[in-house]
Amino acid sequence: MGNVLGRGWSPTTRRYRFLRFALAVLLFSSPALVYVSGYGQPNYRYEAVEIRPADGGFEYDRDVSFVEGLEGVSCYGWERSRLCLLEGDLVDENRTYEDPPGIYDPPEERYTYQNGQFYERIREGKYDTVVLGLRPVSSAKVLDAIARDIEHLDQPLQRVVRDGARTVHRDLDATGRVVRYDGSYYAVHLTEHSESGSYIPSVFGFLAGFGLLARGVRDELRE
């Protein structure tokens, strides 16, 4: 073998064409390879932290700094909307308001959090009025009510909960979701997000591969 290389061995025409064809196919398929590898796509890092009922709210299995709120509960977390401030007046007594259609439509969340206590929203219509109020409920009841069984989630989100953390390439829109899994509860939160990289290298690879394939076809036609 050494003597062959020493005499200036070079590939035969057939072998050269095969190598060129293999390289062309590799370059031509580079966009697909880039997509499968995840390069150039946005990255979303989700974590699932065990959550338990506690006095005055919930407690997490470890220290977290990403509590933006929980699905199904208003006014729990950093953000305090105008509705949260208005509902503070309902803690001590119910209020009766005139009820023009569409003015006092109930919020999507069934529960709210005020001054260290969870409440269930009450809305009762009577004639042309509506009675709004808050009924105290335990944190355990709220947690059980807002949790979703893991079997009802998409596969990517199931893997986040089972593994504790996962990086995916699309927004799962699951921040604040509470999941029931194996007798425990887990809160899912988006902890990191990075934008997509550049697809330019794969585009150049595609064009180069196309050029090599076209050249190979021309060579075959000439012979």
Distance (Å, whole) CA 7 – CA 5: 5
Distance (Å, whole) CA 223 – CA 214: 15
The pLDDT value recorded for residue 161 is 96
pLDDT in tens, 104-141: 567 889 999 998 999 999 888 777 787 888 999 999 99
The three-class DSSP label of residue 33 is: helix
The enclosing H or E element of 179 equals: strand 177-181
Please state the pTM of the whole predicted model: 0.66
pLDDT in tens, 69-111: 899 999 887 667 788 888 888 888 777 666 655 555 678 899 9
pLDDT in tens, 152-187: 999 999 999 999 999 998 899 998 999 999 999 999
End-to-end CA distance of the chain: 32
Distance (Å, whole) CA 73 – CA 177: 10
